[in-house]
Amino acid sequence: MKTTSTTHLGGILAGVLALTSGANGGQNVLPSIPKGTISLSLKPIATGLSAPDYAINAPGDASRLFVLEQNGQVLILQNGSLLPTPALDLQSLVAPPLVSTNANDERGLLGLAFHPGFNTAGSPGYHTLYTYNSQLIPALTSPTYVAPNGASQGYANAINEWKLSPTNPNVIDPLSKREIISFGKNANNHNGGTIAFGPDGYLYLGLGDGGNANDVGASHLEPGGNAQNLSTPLGKMLRIDPLNPTLTPGSLDAISSNGQYRIPATNPFQGAGQVPEIYAYGFRNPYRFAFDKLNGQLIVADVGQGNVEEIDRVVLGGNFGWAIKEGDFLFNRTLATGTVGTVGVRSPGSPAGLSDPISGPAGTLVYDHDDGISITGGFVYRGSLMPELYGKYVFGDLALHASPTRTDGRLFYADLSTGALTEFLLPEFAGGILPNGLTVHGFGQDANGELYALATNTPSSGTGGIIYALQNAPVVWNGPALAFSKASGAAWTQPQNQDRITESVWLTRASTQGLFNLKTESSYTHSLSPVGTEWAYGTTASYASLTYQNWETWTGGAGGGPPSTVDKDAVVHLINGNIYIDIKFTSWGGAGGGFSYVRSTPPLTALEAWRQLYFNLITNTGDAADGFDYDHDGLANITEYAFGLNPTRSDSLALPQPRLIAGVFGVTFTQPAGVSGITYGAEWSTTLAAASWTAIADTGTGSTHTFNVPANGNPRMFIRLIVTTP
């Protein structure tokens, strides 16, 4: 039951904080990203790659994942194993211009998209796919869009169409290439990278602003730069129909000037001098974006310059601010506004007409360069193996450290509704940091919505690339034993005859057959039931080394659970949630479907363990309630827990005390080690009147909580701390 406890403090005055220099040379303008509560296990499913940067499945294909190598290869993971031969090898097309020995080169094979009709015979997009890659410009030819200002062009980025081999589904026909659209480039960076079909059936492409810094340079338009100029495709989200127009004669969309694709009639900028392919604008380098599988929202991770990385929800015709703003801070593009390349004040909602990064009651999806150097966008999680991650946006940052070499990529998740931004826990690795200096270059998503992190510690000529499957860190249930039984003949349809272990696993039994999972099954099915479980003999003390089997194999093939399983130590692995549970069957009946067992339960939470320590012998449950003050010192039991105090003796003076430092009135404290499962808050008032209290934002980082009262000119102020349980 949710409990809230309020404790009053008191004091005087307020002030402002100054900006400081950050770890990677940028401005320290935002609080550090806090550690979250979700622990990941990274399972390597392919190693020895070079620099993998993207992975997706073809429509309707649940067995294969197509993986891009920056060096130009398209690889296939089939049923979790890497096929020995690339599906397509474009190394000679992308290098040059890619310098494969340079780990910082942003060119190469960057994007892959399958036509929605890829697996639909008769569709004009049948067995058709597209790559986005860097390539040299053939002599005597010109890109579809040349670099602005007539600047020199060392290469182009292009969308190319390909066909699947008619004789081998694991081969893309190298002779089927058709160039759709290309963009001449003067600078080597800010190439974007993702192409993806939206729910409207059109192909989207995010392009960087042309490169260099500050949206300034030989191939950058003035005034304002490329991203704000609708006469260039650079710094934009584009939308096209890439099919050969001859295959869609009934379409109302206009044919492009090069005759290779169509331009959606609903694209918003089709006036004189405007690029009609533009869907939205104001981007610096939207390297990775993705459509949410559930609702179709377009989520873009736009790489910042020297200070702020951001996540945007892109809409038709939107202007996302670069280079007027970086994140939701005003940006100094020229000397006329301030020191070039720096950010000024934070300015959400202003200037008018600009779309800021995603925000909510918990914050805005931005972070500064104390937490990374270049955002690597991912996907909204819509899988089933990690229920607590469902609907969250999973992404990363290339590296925590920029020099002398880029190292230590990071993994994050964001709540797109609340604006909360948090870092995954990685308990398998020392310090919770990716091993061996790995940098995060991209993510993958399979047909089931499960996600993959693509990392490397070598350039695209090396062998340091790894594909990790993201899954819950193993959870071992070692809490108090629970006995469960279903009597022979008892109705398995009744809740009391189902062991509802988790939200996704409800074990029961009917008649003489084996267990099944009522949550997802209506009866026992040989070799499959119970869905979402696997079984082994042994104990959770050695769970990682046990051999797991499906129920029927584990019980000897009869399906009914032969006597050999009774009175034996065993472990059941719940795949959803990656949970390992000790279990021992104590009986197994014949006709009538009776059975019983004893199993472990979730470990005690820190709060449960604390309650047990102090209140285990208290018979009056009211005295032990979170909201009760057992020792009569003015502090509720839950407040004593939150601040590491003893609820059985008076110690209220040990509470954090307000302080006045440099004109700032507030309170700072460190959450005691081992305290979890509660939320800290604070409010301030000048009168103590019930309606006068105003919430204060927590500006602390990690386990340190800081609540500063905003400047208000009043010499009399009060703070009250609020502690809340879930």
* 17-40 residue pLDDT tens: 233 455 566 788 898 999 998 999
If asked whether residues 234 and 355 sit together in one domain, one would say yes
Residue 724 pairs in a beta bridge with 4, 679
Is 46 domain-assigned? yes
Of 92, 87, 62, 67, give the one whose Cα is nearest residue 77. 67
Report the C-alpha dihedral over residues 104, 312, 432, 723, rounded to 10 degrees. 160
| Of residues 206, 227, 192, the one with CA closest to residue 322 | 227
Give yes or no for a contact between 32 and 420, defined as CB atoms under 8 angstroms apart: no
Query: Is 620 within 8 Å of 614 (Cβ atoms)?
Result: no
Average pLDDT for residues 452-477, to the nearest whole number?
Answer: 96
Q: Name the least confident of 237-241, 408-412, 522-526, 569-573.
A: 522-526
Nearest residue to 697 (alpha-carbon basis) of 675, 712, 680, 713: 680
Triad 51, 54, 55: Cα angle to 5°:
120
Q: How far apart are the first and last CA of the chain?
A: 7
Boundaries of domain holding 355: 31-475
The answer as to whether 25 is a domain residue is no
**Is the confidence at residue 488, as pLDDT, over 60?**
yes
> Is 51 within 8 Å of 459 (Cβ atoms)?
yes
pLDDT digits (tens, 9 = 90+) for 302-320: 999 999 999 999 999 999 9
pLDDT of residue 649: 84
Work out how many domains the chain is built from and give that number.
3
Cβ pair 279, 235 in contact under 8 A: no
Q: Are residues 668 and 595 in the same domain?
A: no
Residues 267 and 322 in one domain: yes
* Residue 204 pLDDT > 90: yes
646-697 pLDDT, tens digit each: 888 887 667 888 888 777 888 999 988 888 888 898 998 988 888 889 999 8
Based on the fold, state whether residues 212 and 293 are members of the same structural domain. yes
In a domain, 172, yes or no: yes
Higher confidence at residue 171 or residue 609?
171
Q: Are residues 550 and 648 in the same domain?
A: no
CA angle 135, 137, 140 (to 5 degrees): 160
Q: Are residues 343 and 267 in the same domain?
A: yes
Does 455 share its domain with 562? no
CA pair distance 54, 111, nearest whole angstrom: 7
Please tell me which residue, 357 or 403, carries the higher pLDDT value.
357
Which residue, among 71, 64, 202, has the nearest Cα to 130 in the 3D structure? 202
Distance from C-alpha of 12 to C-alpha of 663, rounded to nearest angstrom:
9
- The overall average pLDDT reported for the chain is 92
Per-residue model confidence (pLDDT) at position 662: 76
In a shared domain, residues 585 and 647: no
Averaged pLDDT for residues 412-431: 94
Evaluate whether residue 245 is within a structural domain: yes
Domain end: 475, 492, 525, which one?
475
Residue that the structure tokens 């939308």 belong to? 239
- 433, 396 Cβ separation under 8 angstroms: no
Residue closest to 43 by CA, chosen among 575, 603, 601: 575
- Residue 133 in any domain: the answer is yes
Q: Please check whether residue 605 lies inside any domain of the structure.
A: no
pLDDT of residue 7: 66
163 and 202: one domain? yes
Residue 556 confidence (pLDDT)? 84
Q: Is 6 helix (H, G, I), strand (E, B) or coil?
A: strand
Looking at the fold, whether 366 and 498 belong to one and the same domain comes out as no
8 A C-beta contact, residue 561 and residue 554: no
3-state secondary structure 323-359: CCEECCEEECCCCCCCCCCCEEEECCCCCCCCCCCCE
Is 26 within a domain? Answer: no
Handedness of CA 170, 175, 176, 182 (dihedral sign): positive
Q: Per the omega criterion (within 30 degrees of 0), is the bond before 52 cis?
A: no
Looking at the fold, whether 165 and 286 belong to one and the same domain comes out as yes
* DSSP code, position 475: E
Instruction: Please tell me whether residue 653 adopts helix, strand or coil conformation.
Output: helix
Q: How far is Cα 162 from Cα 169, in angstroms, rounded to an integer?
A: 13
Residues 6+ apart with CB under 8 A from 406: 103, 104, 373, 398, 399, 439
DSSP state of 213: B
* Phi, psi (rounded to 5 degrees) for 447: -65, -25
Residue 606 lies in a domain: no
Nearest by Cα to 515 from 497, 502, 540:
497
pLDDT confidence of residue 616 = 76
Q: Pick from 142, 145, 116, 118: which is nearest to 207 by CA?
A: 145
Give the integer Cα–Cα distance in Å for 233 and 221.
Answer: 12
Long-range pairs for 326-333: beta carbons < 8 A, 24 or more residues apart: 326/284, 327/356, 327/357, 327/364, 327/366, 328/356, 328/357, 328/359, 328/364, 328/366, 329/29, 331/305, 333/214, 333/215, 333/216, 333/224, 333/225
Domain boundary among 421, 441, 475: 475
Q: How far is CA 118 from the centre of its chain?
A: 27
pLDDT in the model for residue 15: 25
> What's the one-letter identity of residue 270?
Q
Its pTM stands at 0.80
Say whether pLDDT at 14 is over 50.
Answer: no
- Give me the mean pLDDT over the 221-250 stretch: 97
Q: Do 134 and 154 contact (CB within 8 A), yes or no?
A: no
In tens, the pLDDT along 276-312 reads 999 999 999 999 999 999 999 999 999 999 999 999 9
Report, in this order, helix, strand and coil percent for the chain, each rounded to 5.
10, 35, 55
pLDDT of 309 reads 98
Q: Tell me whether the omega of the peptide bond preceding residue 96 falls within 30 degrees of 0, making it cis.
A: yes
C-alpha span between 257 and 275 (Å, rounded):
11
Nearest alpha-carbon partner for 31 in 422, 356, 431: 422
d(CA 320, CA 354): 6
**Which of 418, 453, 475 finishes a domain?**
475
Are 209 and 261 within one domain?
yes
Q: Which of 469, 472, 437 is nearest to 453 (CA)?
A: 469
